[in-house]
Chain A
Amino acid sequence: MASRTLRIDGLTRVEGEGSVKLQVRDGEVRSAQLRIFEPPRFFEALLRGRDYTEAPDITARICGICPVAYQMSAVHALEDALAIEVPQAIRDLRRLLYCGEWIKSHALHITLLHAPDFLGYDSGIAMAREHGAAVRRGLALKQAGNAIIAALGGREVHPVTVRVGGFHRVPHPRELAPLAERLRWAREAALETVRWTGAFEFPDCERPYTFLALRHPQNYPFNAGRIVSNQGLDIPAQVFEERIREHPVRHSNALQAELLGTGAYLTGPLARYSLNFERLAPIAREAALAAGLGSRCTNPFRSIVVRAVEVLHACEEALSLIGRYEVPAQAACECEPRAATGMAATEAPRGLLYHRYDLAADGTIRLARIVPPTAQNQAAMEEDLRRFSGEWLSGPTEMLRRRCEQLVRNHDPCISCATHFLRLEIDA
């Protein structure tokens, strides 16, 4: 029996450290493993015994790229436990903060991590020599996202103003005015980025994903909505654990997730977009269609275009939120601790991020559960590798390695979160 093993040790241009191992028998890919060997980080254990007010700041430290997502899921879960309903003005500010994080995270991934795959470069620096304008534009877009986070959060990374019930401090409208000017530029830059990425060449790789994302009656989802799938799932975050199970696998330090009765599923931009296309701002919808996307996208390579569309939506949304901003009557609601359990899911740049907290009567965290998007997407990424890598087995190993890395990068995994990430190992 002819067999072959392909190993990619140290996947590049992903967040964190991991590797890929393909097992090939008789010219067919028999198995694909995404190996996350970053050590476990024990954040859930670290939260036990801490006061509930500390959770937003502790969980923000899980990631330097998406700290806002951790803060948002934490505060919403704790507000669920404490039966706090924050006013719309606070919800709007949280959406604005989240826009900043989406712009920052997506712009960085598009520009320095993902685009080099399509244009044939090993790195963003190498690409910048011939595509300088696009790289400058991408980095300036990222800075526009950072500026939102700094204005609302006090600093660009690990914001310090978020608290259960609202914010420690809310901005004066004059602090947001300079952001609007920058975001008008960013909106044009995002539109240009949609056109730029839409013109890349994409392999013909479609597959029938089970998509999972938040869905809100009016808005493209950030902080609120029910968890829905394209297979009929429609649940509140409170029953997430009844429908989604995590389990350990030998080859990864991150737990893998499955939707009971369905199996692997995908969360993140492709899922959000395909389940919420009509909730996008008109400018983003039109740009998506003009760039060749339909109202659903099942080609993982086109995720770079979807991310650009989401950046455009976030710029438009941020401008709208700033335009109607009025200082909230209260920066934060009063919070009274009680023995309770609370759950929430929000949409991190990479996908659905679920938190659950069990609190004691004095507000001490008795148990914390965090299910990050990359952990949920591991099985879907392995399935991508199994289904698509066979196409490239007959070609040079270097091309196979590049394609396999790209298959993983399509989903922008954050191994620091999942626990961190990439090495390719082919066993044939």
Chain B
Amino acid sequence: MRPLESHRRVIGLGNAWRGDDAAGLACLAALRGRVPADVALIDSDGDPAALLEQLSGAALVYLIDACRSGDLPGTVHRVDVAHHPLCLPNGATSSHGLGLATALELARTFGQVPAQCQVFAIEAGDFTLGAPLGAAVRTAVERLAQEIQCRLSPPRPARSGSEV
């Protein structure tokens, strides 16, 4: 199945070479092989036109990105963007500043936001060029991967006689 034919998609955003900015991509990498075959895992550089295509036609999309809000590194923010806008960053007024929030608001205008659409934003601590993920962000990435794996995997049938 091609990624954009799947109704369930996980999109990881970020820059692999800018320290904790790679959190979304790292989480996507951690999910490979751990989610059902119908789930598409998509790398994104955040280009809004590409994101619009990646959101279009899906029933469920999880978007994972790094953020900086002032919380401790590794904190995971969850925003239900199917029902609430993601704050547009100040100065998002050049094409260098267009990104996830712009794409989501354009998608909302066009009625293309999936019925289930959630942003997982991992608080970043360090965007140094060439730096690896910080320890707190690494831990958060693994925990978030587990959470998303659980959300996307069908519940296991209860084993008979296991109830106590």
A-side interface residues toward B, CB under 8 Å?
10, 12-17, 64-65, 108-109, 112-113, 123-125, 128-129, 132, 135-136, 139-140, 142-143, 146, 156-157, 416, 420-421
Contact = CB atoms under 8 A, between A and B. Distances in A.
A54 B42 CA distance: 29
Nearest to A107: B49
Interface residues of B, number: 18
Nearest to A123: B93
B49 A132 contact: no
Nearest to B49: A139
A108 B95 contact: yes
Given A108-B95, A112-B95, A421-B94, A143 B110 contact: no
Q: Shortest 3 CB-CB distances between A and B: which pairs?
A: A12-B93, A139-B49, A128-B109
Interface in B30-89: 45, 47-50, 52-53
Interface string B111-131: 000000000000000000000
Contacts of B49: 108, 139-140, 142-143, 146
B93 A13 contact: yes
Interface of B: 45, 47-50, 52-53, 91, 93-96, 98, 102, 105-106, 109-110
B96 A16 contact: yes
A15 B95 contact: yes
Given A139-B52, A156-B50, A157-B45, A132 B94 contact: no
A113 B95 contact: yes
Contacts of A125: 102, 105-106, 109
Contacts of A143: 49-50, 53
Main secondary structure of the interface of A (DSSP, over half): helix
Contact of A132 (B93, B96, B102, B110): B110
A140 B105 CA distance: 16
Contacts of B102: 124-125
Contact of A416 (B48, B53, B96): B96
Given A15-B95, A135-B106, A142-B49, 5 more contacts: A15-B94, A64-B96, A65-B95, A139-B48, A156-B47
A143 B109 CA distance: 19
B110 A136 contact: yes
A107 to B, nearest CB: 9
Contacts of A113: 94-95
A125 to B, nearest CB: 5
A410 B155 CA distance: 56
A124 B93 CA distance: 9
Contacts of A123: 93
B97 to A, nearest CB: 9
Contacts of A124: 102, 106
Contacts of A64: 96
A156 B43 CA distance: 12
Contacts of B45: 156-157
29 contacts: A10-B93, A12-B94, A14-B94, A15-B94, A15-B95, A16-B96, A17-B94, A64-B96, A108-B49, A108-B95, A112-B95, A113-B94, A124-B102, A124-B106, A125-B102, A125-B106, A128-B109, A128-B110, A129-B109, A132-B109, A136-B110, A139-B49, A139-B52, A140-B49, A146-B47, A146-B49, A156-B45, A157-B45, A420-B96
A3 B23 CA distance: 53
Nearest to A421: B94
B106 A15 contact: no
Contacts of A136: 110
A15 B105 CA distance: 21
Max chain A Cβ within 10 angstroms of own Cβ: one of B52, B96, B110: B96
B32 to A, nearest CB: 19
Contacts of B93: 10, 12-13, 123
B91 A10 contact: yes
B50 A15 contact: no
